[in-house]
Structure 1
Amino acid sequence: MADWHKILVAVDDSSLSERVLHYVGEVVGGIDKAAICLLHVYPEPPPYYFTEKHTLQEYREEKEAAARQVFNRAGQVLAGHAIGESRISTICLMATGKTFSKSILQVQKEGDFGTVVLGKRGISKAEEFLFGSVSNAVIRECHDFTVWVVS
């Protein structure tokens, strides 16, 4: 089993992500061995994006700039729990040809993270049936690592 001290935290600009970060900070803030990797996954551009004379590079730059703001805010939240910059890394990734859950699982596997932390959005059963749930999909595919789901 992977080292649980290597923690992958999926983040975005939502209040749920902020709650997730506070939870992680409360749980591992005093554990010097804990290393946190903040992961921001964004979707591929919509089909109309290129018809408006935009490039893939412009799209990536826009999304990565937004991710930097998310990471900066996340760093502030974690700093409030005595987790310094030296213990935090970041990954920004476009979910190219795959779901967000598959992207998270790919990063977990490649980075050998022992813990993955996700927020659980309050979606209805109908939405979950139609669109799926990222947290449920990650839990279904979880092998040799731990998943924390924060609501």
Structure 2
Amino acid sequence: MNTDKILIAYDGSDNARRAVSYTAAMVGASARRHVDVVAIERPPDRDLFADDAAWKTECARRIAAMRTSLDEARDMLLADGVPEASVATRFVESCRSPLRDAEECSIGTSIALEILRLAEEGGYGTVVVGRRGVSKQEEFLFGSVSTKIIHAAKGLAVWVVA
């Protein structure tokens, strides 16, 4: 575990953007810290589309939007003074994606567990997540990524930004 390596779990939401801003404020212009912003693809349910073409079109639209959003997160960090050499972005495609072209992919069992896997493999000391803001009933029924990360994390700091 490297306390100078920070992984931001990013989904493009307002809370995720707040997590990026918070991280930038905490890291500042320190060149010794490294910040990776990672997004994990969540393909839409195939059953919601009339045919494969419509599903693939939506998957492509979502991938493009997330890559753009990751670039915006990177730009936010740079604008807040985090050195360019200290910032990286990463998009992890779903193994279920019809457009998959990467060697590494997420099997899609749990976004939270996937984030923790990436943190462990990358030797990160801190994981930063935005608080999703789901209702208590939704959190009880479905859970939330931030809650799951808090409960499953071992040996690293977790910052939950609201």
**TM class by shorter-chain length?**
0.7 to 0.9
Kindly, what percent of the aligned residue pairs are identical? 31
| Aligned twin of 1:139 | 150
Show structure 1 runs of 5+ residues with no match: none
* Mean Cα deviation higher: 61-70 or 116-125: 61-70
What is the CA–CA distance in structure 1 between the aligned matches of 2:124 and 2:135, rounded to whole Å?
Answer: 30
Question: Would you say 1:12 and 2:11 are equivalent positions?
Answer: yes
Q: TM-score, normalised by structure 1?
A: 0.87
What is the CA–CA distance in structure 2 between the aligned matches of 1:49 and 1:85, rounded to whole Å?
Answer: 40
What is the CA–CA distance in structure 2 between the aligned matches of 1:31 and 1:52, rounded to whole Å?
Answer: 50
Show structure 2 runs of 5+ residues with no match: 95-105
Deviation at 1:17, TM superposition (A): 1.6
* Mean Cα deviation higher: 94-103 or 2-11: 94-103
1:89-134 deviations in Å (ceiling 9; x for gaps)? 1221234331111111111111111100000122221111111011
Deviation at 1:67, TM superposition (A): 2.0
75 and 128 in structure 1: CA distance in 2 versus 1, 3 angstrom threshold: same
What is the CA–CA distance in structure 2 between the aligned matches of 1:97 and 1:82, rounded to whole Å?
Answer: 34
Q: 1:91 is paired with a residue of what secondary structure?
A: strand
Question: Would you say 1:120 and 2:119 are equivalent positions?
Answer: no
Note the 1:64-103 alignment, pairs <5 A.
Answer: 64-93=63-92, 94=94, 95-103=106-114
What is the CA–CA distance in structure 2 between the aligned matches of 1:62 and 1:16, rounded to whole Å?
Answer: 22
| Aligned twin of 2:103 | none
Question: Would you say 1:107 and 2:106 are equivalent positions?
Answer: no
| Aligned twin of 2:53 | 54
Deviation at 1:68, TM superposition (A): 1.7
Q: CA RMSD in A?
A: 2.1
Which structure is higher in RCO with an 8 Å CA cutoff and minimum separation 6? Answer: 1
Contact 2:43-2:59 at 8 Å conserved across structures: no
87 and 58 in structure 1: CA distance in 2 versus 1, 3 angstrom threshold: farther
Note the 1:20-39 alignment, pairs <5 A.
Answer: 20-39=19-38
